[in-house]
Amino acid sequence: MSEYSELLKDPRWQKKRLKIMERDNFQCQITFEKDKTLCVHHKKYIKGKKPWEYANKDLITITDEEHTAMHIVLSENSSFFRFMSEVLKCTPTDVFILLYRTSKIVKIEGKNGIKTAIQLLTAYVIKQEEM
């Protein structure tokens, strides 16, 4: 078992993890699902920092499925996500969430979805700045 896996068993991480899930209403912040297994994702990693030492704004509740998918997509497209995160001044995870939500809105609402997506993106960026 890896050293990082051991850190995730630490009571300080378990307490922090529960606090984040409570903040997010035990709901995936990507898909808004509540009926799937949830985990807490670190939006960024800082070498040497323990999992519980991160600011709450750097943690997000997501489903295990989305967690796996996100890591695959981010690693396969790392240059794009790094570039977009610099442009938008947010984390690659935030870019992933924005693109996911935007794609769902545009698919559901067609041309009107673009306007709604822009409003959602703006609201999301403002929310992240306030956290």
Number of CB atoms found within 10 A of residue 58's CB:
18
In the chain, how long is the greatest CA-to-CA distance?
49
Tokens standing for residue 78: 């790392």
Cα radius of gyration rounded to whole Å, the chain: 15
Q: What is the pLDDT of residues 69-81, one digit of tens each?
A: 888 888 888 888 8
> Is residue 1 predicted with pLDDT exceeding 80?
no
In this predicted structure, the answer to whether residue 112 has a pLDDT above a threshold of 80 is no
Per-residue confidence (pLDDT) for residue 108, from 0 to 100 = 63
Q: Write down the pLDDT at residue 110.
A: 61
What are the residue ranges spanned by the domains of the chain? 1-64, 77-131
Contact 30, 62 (CB under 8 A): yes
Q: How far apart are CA 48 and CA 46, in angstroms?
A: 6
List, in sequence order, every beta strand (DSSP E) within the chain: 38-42, 59-63
